[in-house]
Amino acid sequence: MIPVKRTPAHCPPPGVYRNIPFEDYCSWDALNASTIGQFLVSGRNGASYLAGEQSPPKKDQLLGTATHSMLLEPVDYADRMLVDEKIGPAAEVTHRKVAEANPGRIILRKGWNEQIVSMARSVATHPKARYLLREVEGSNELTLVWDITRRVGGDDVTVRCKARIDRHIPAFTPYPDASKPVCCFLDIKTCAKDKGSPEQIDRTVANWGYHRQAAWYLSGGIRLGLIDKMHANSYIILAIEKDRPYPVGTYPICCSALEQGWADCKRGIAAYLKYRLHGHAPHASENLVPVSLPMWAMNSEQETASD
């Protein structure tokens, strides 16, 4: 493969890894779901992402990361958190400076710790979420590395892949009348107000590509023997809204959505290989593209310019 415009760390061989710092995981030169998502936008977006040119994480991403730590590794969260009351709700630059001065710490803005604790308490009141997160045996924060092979121009090309799983549950009972236990990956997502509701979660999944991420994670889990196959309960989103009263929902991604996610992944893999092998990084469109208006913006009583 041709080199990308960065100096990534060598990725370890295929396997399941525990206790890998997130910064180390990010440095490993391997294909992940985020990279696929960028290449699905355009080759140019993907190349920029690989070169490390993406924007710094925003408020919602930082809060989501801290919430993950609180729910999945509460002891680590307590040891690493640093509350800085001087960082206001929109103080992106100040937050970044404090983080740079305190490597390895979880930086919390004013009011964040109270919000995260309230979200965790809400999770504890949700029977299925509490069961999946606390009451059934599982492993948190697993890092997966595996290889896939693609045929390109008559040659077999091996692609090193990676994923970071929130929680792997090897055996649980999805419903009281289930015939036998199944295995799954549990993925924690923080959502804006109402976006984690049963009425909106399908749009949230589609808009953020969670079905694609699920298919990618499951493909690695199947390859490494953590998951037997994609099924109706193989990937469950635990959605937590970030506004009071912090509603919680647990949503298995259905098989048809997982199949669509894998179809998207295959397109992203193809675009990624074109860049890594040939430096092909086109814009989203490089031709003239006629633009109309959506139906809701059209006036049925149109007047022409000559009227």
pLDDT the model gives residue 292? 93
User: Which CATH architecture best describes the domain 15-51+126-281?
Assistant: Alpha-Beta Complex (3.90)
Q: In this structure, how many other beta carbons lie within 10 angstroms of the beta carbon of residue 24?
A: 12
* Structure token digits, residue 306: 């000559």
Q: What are the backbone angles phi and psi of residue 162, rounded to the nearest 5°?
A: -150, 160
pLDDT of residue 1: 34
Strands (E), the chain: 15-17, 81-83, 106-108, 139-152, 155-172, 182-191, 235-241, 248-252
Q: Cβ contacts of residue 35 below 8 Å, gap of 6+? A: 46, 49, 50, 268, 272
Per-residue pLDDT of the chain (307 residues; tens, 9 = 90+): 333 333 456 899 999 999 999 889 999 999 999 999 999 999 999 999 999 888 888 899 999 999 999 999 999 999 999 999 888 877 888 999 999 999 989 999 999 999 999 999 999 999 999 999 999 999 999 999 999 999 998 899 999 999 999 999 999 999 888 889 999 999 999 999 999 999 999 999 999 999 999 999 999 999 999 999 999 999 999 999 999 999 999 999 999 999 999 999 999 999 999 999 999 999 999 999 999 999 999 876 655 555 5
Nearest to 163 by CA among 221, 205, 234, 227: 221
pTM: 0.91
Q: Are 40 and 165 in contact (CB under 8 A)?
A: no
**Dist CA 39 CA 45 (whole Å):** 6
Q: Which residues of 247-269 are buried (b: 16+ CB within 10 A; e: fewer)?
A: bbbbbbbbeebbeebbebbeebb
Peptide bond preceding 245 in cis form (omega within 30 of 0): yes
What pLDDT is recorded for position 237?
Answer: 98
Q: Tell me what pLDDT residue 303 has.
A: 56
Q: What is the model's pLDDT at position 57? A: 86
Given the structure tokens 């994609």, which residue do they identify?
Answer: 230
Return the HEC string of 146-208: EEEEEEECCEEEEEEEEEEEEEEEEEECCCCCCCCCEEEEEEEEEECCCCCCCCCHHHHHHHH
Asked if 116 contacts 67 with a C-beta cutoff of 8 angstroms, the reply is: yes
Domain ranges of the chain: 15-51+126-281
Q: Bridge partners of 155?
A: 152
